[in-house]
A and B are shown apart, each in its own frame.
Chain A
């Protein structure tokens, strides 16, 4: 069983963290991952930076630009991660945009992921139809779980279609927005969380976008299996540094 699938069976709410590889410093990647694991994080999304991250708000745009300016690129990320499975056992996913993967060569990229021990990919601009048309076979061949997104606007029929195509979890985007912290969740989000919970999907859901603190984490996970924090973690890294990662995690749960 894939590490993501076993993690999802654990009887707890999962806390997952996104960070942009190559930021704040080019060679922080392994330190950040090890520190997150030591702090009790359940799963990590390693952000592969892209020049034009069109689903992202200002915080991740800036961290991506900074990472690219620092010299991050796909080959370097794989080099940095080459021995990661000697020290890290929690699920690791790569999250990014599809173009850098297309240039790397989709099959080569998948193969590298498998060799390193990456468990899944989250590629917002590779939607279901394009994935199934050209890439599904490759992802499966290398044991990678592809994670799809749903939003408050996603129709019930499409959610069912995505559920059927998913093998790990469904990434539940909290509101119609780009990434970045909002001031808490309102009634619209609560209704949405409940509506999805009521659908009894076969894949658990993990909520992302707009989760920044204990309160939004517990709201998001009241019915979902877990939540992902990105922008708020990146801001904390920028202001407090890599050493303060345990403090951030403690502030969430």
Chain B
């Protein structure tokens, strides 16, 4: 239990609930109920039935033969890209919409950057017939038009966040402000392992199905549950949290987190939170945070909108500080090249977020007998225009 949240939502020095009193009843209701609800057999049954029949779980664990040959090690891909809506995000939104129903909520709000979490939220709201409002930075609305259209087609209202830098962190601020103004009937579906307690723990638990499946799939294929390494990209940290979850306390499993270096860690245009961040408070959580000397939150940059967040979940801050996790940052260019390589070698076009994880092989050597699992968090359909522009396809 060393790497899980304690009862106050702390992972070592990180976490907690730094929220204004206006949000106390909302988060307290969730805190008091989320574990009981999640452990209720009828909830588990409903959750797993939807994951199976609607999302398409279990997702395959695929041995990437050509990639393995190229890097002279043994590489497995956990195919979250095959989830309905194209990424792991839906594991969390299915869980949270069921949670919201049990709490008697009839209005859902969410934030989104690239639009993946917004689409996953709009999808489950359509499925359940619940009103859905997605906050999205005005700038992101302009750069992610296809996902905006998907959300609208799914019946969601997309509200532009016009404050601050008009990107993901501001969309999150607007969602929190909405929740302050609508404290009774609304549930806020946060999109990653961020925010005040109990969100990081709750989202990690919903995503933990990923590592649960890896364990049984590896057992079947390799006769062992534990790989030598699990690798995932980290924006807020939810796909990584899911992939690490059941391995956190198994110290022989190496945990590798890949962050976005943007144009270079020290270029001034980066989202490498562990390298650039200091302890601070963002969106109700004490964690590593990119900020000025005076404690103002700074705007990150990455070619991948899903990694473009100035903080990181408190679980990951603790993995970094404790040394349990190995953190590596990957530039835009390295990620784009890695994405193209995976497309050509394995016939899979990864989301640009995920492409960052694949660039690990140019940074770090693995032994030929090592078993390395990469969490393939999403597919690249949403990123085609960026790939087209980058490679002049």
Q: A50-B296, A52-B164, A177-B181 are in contact. Are A127 and B22 (CB under 8 A)?
A: no
Write 27 A-B pairs (CB below 8 A) sorted by A numbering: A51-B164, A51-B297, A52-B164, A52-B173, A54-B177, A54-B283, A55-B20, A55-B180, A57-B177, A61-B164, A74-B295, A98-B18, A99-B281, A101-B295, A102-B279, A103-B294, A124-B20, A124-B21, A124-B22, A126-B18, A129-B8, A130-B16, A148-B21, A153-B24, A154-B24, A177-B180, A177-B181
Q: A51-B297, A99-B297, A102-B295 are in contact. Are A176 and B22 (CB under 8 A)?
A: yes
Across the A-B interface, the 6 shortest Cβ-Cβ residue pairs: A103-B295, A100-B295, A149-B21, A124-B20, A51-B296, A73-B294
Q: How far is the CA of A205 from the CA of B149 in the complex (A)?
A: 48
A side interface size, CB within 8 A:
40
Known: A52-B173, A99-B282, A178-B180. 12 other contacts (CB 8 A): A51-B164, A54-B176, A99-B297, A100-B294, A102-B281, A103-B294, A125-B20, A127-B17, A127-B19, A129-B8, A151-B22, A158-B24
Q: Which residue of B lies closest to A125 (CB)?
A: B18
Q: How far is the CA of A176 from the CA of B176 in the complex (A)?
A: 12
Q: How far is the CA of A58 from the CA of B162 in the complex (A)?
A: 10
Which of A52, A73, A75 has the most chain B CB atoms inside 10 A of its CB? A52
B side interface size, CB within 8 A:
36
Least distance between B387 CB and chain A CB atoms (Å): 32
Q: How far is the CA of A153 from the CA of B26 in the complex (A)?
A: 9
Q: A51-B297, A176-B181, A176-B183 are in contact. Are A103 and B291 (CB under 8 A)?
A: yes
Least distance between B246 CB and chain A CB atoms (Å): 29
B180 contacts A176, C-beta separation under 8 Å? yes
B18 contacts A155, C-beta separation under 8 Å? no
Within 8 A of B (CB), among A81-109: 97-104
Q: Which of B170, B173, B177, B280 contacts A102 (CB 8 A)?
A: B280
Mark B16-48 against chain A: 1 for CB-CB distance below 8 A, else 0. 111111101100000000000000000000000
Q: Is A133 close to B, CB under 8 A?
A: yes
Q: A103-B291, A129-B8 are in contact. Are A149 and B22 (CB under 8 A)?
A: yes
Q: Is A231 close to B, CB under 8 A?
A: no
Q: How far is the CA of A50 from the CA of B296 in the complex (A)?
A: 6
Mark A140-169 against chain B: 1 for CB-CB distance below 8 A, else 0. 000000001111011100100000000000
B24 contacts A127, C-beta separation under 8 Å? yes
Least distance between B328 CB and chain A CB atoms (Å): 26
Q: Which residue of B lies closest to A76 (CB)?
A: B294
Residues in A with CB closer than 8 Å to B153 are none
Q: How far is the CA of A153 from the CA of B226 in the complex (A)?
A: 47
Q: How far is the CA of A143 from the CA of B349 in the complex (A)?
A: 60
Q: How far is the CA of A158 from the CA of B23 in the complex (A)?
A: 13
Least distance between B135 CB and chain A CB atoms (Å): 12
Q: How far is the CA of A155 from the CA of B26 in the complex (A)?
A: 12
Q: How far is the CA of A84 from the CA of B262 in the complex (A)?
A: 45
Q: Is B278 close to A, CB under 8 A?
A: yes
